[in-house]
Amino acid sequence: MDVKIEESWKNRLSPEFEKAYFKALVKFIKNEYANYKIYPPGSKIFNAFIHCPFDRVKVVIVGQDPYHGPGQANGLCFSVNDGVRQPPSLENIFKEIQDDIGKPVPYSGNLERWATQGVLLLNATLTVRARQAGSHQGKGWELFTDKVLEVVSKEKENIVFILWGAYAQKKGVIIDSQRHFVLKSAHPSPFSANNGFFGNAHFSKANHYLEQAGLEPIDW
């Protein structure tokens, strides 16, 4: 099956595209786009991979679902398009960055600037029906994104994995914490940010680790 994904990822993930679960997923997704409003736009489903080729990955942030409101989702977890109001979780991420490293809150919530520096912004589920959170869970995306994490964990070294909330932490059990730096805390959602997300200093910790490994830090 010919899946339109960035070439360095395609080289590593192509066996997944021939598996029964992925073929069923493709059939389901095509039907969803044909009959419902689905986010992100079809051309943006694999945006995280386009902006962050395998060889450039230094940090992986694991999200859950794409945003399901109009014009929000752009294929990068926690990110929104330019000109779109920042969702509460993203606002809290920027607040923590400001408190942690002193960087002012940016005007735009588009995180492509992180992705192009080597931050893989990976949602567990890559598509969603408009205004129906979780509507594409359990259809096969999770198996695919588990494989993405497995490939990064096995083939690379000194990657920073950032896991916010119980869902991301459960998904991260396949990461080899002996080879990589795994950061965990509460989720930046307003419902949980005060339970350990604020003050986690993940952004400075990530950069310190990268510098210790001889890698360029991220300009958060």
State pLDDT tens for residues 172-192. Answer: 999 999 999 999 999 999 999
pLDDT tens-place string over residues 38-82: 999 999 999 999 999 999 999 999 999 999 999 999 999 999 999
pLDDT confidence tier of residue 135, bands split at 50, 70 and 90 = very high
Distance CA 48, CA 107 (A): 21
Mean per-residue pLDDT of the chain: 97
**pLDDT confidence of residue 187:** 97
**pLDDT confidence of residue 166:** 95
Distance CA 146, CA 76 (A): 16
Residue 103 CA, chain-centre distance (Å), reads 22
Distance CA 149, CA 173 (A): 10
Look at residue 197 and tell me whether its pLDDT is greater than 90. Answer: yes
The percent of residues above 90 in pLDDT, for the chain, comes to 98
**pLDDT confidence of residue 3:** 87
53: Cβ–Cβ under 8 A, 6 or more apart, which residues? 6, 7, 8, 9
**Residue whose pair of structure tokens reads 């990657």 in the numeric block:** 159
pLDDT tens-place string over residues 16-45: 999 999 999 999 999 999 999 999 999 999
pLDDT confidence tier of residue 1, bands split at 50, 70 and 90 = confident
**pLDDT confidence of residue 31:** 98
Cα separation values, 212 from 9, 31, 114, 215, 216, Å? 27, 47, 20, 7, 10
Catalytic residues, by residue number, are 65
The percent of residues above 70 in pLDDT, for the chain, comes to 100
Distance CA 87, CA 39 (A): 16
**pLDDT confidence of residue 2:** 81
**pLDDT confidence of residue 106:** 97
Mean pLDDT of 139-162: 98
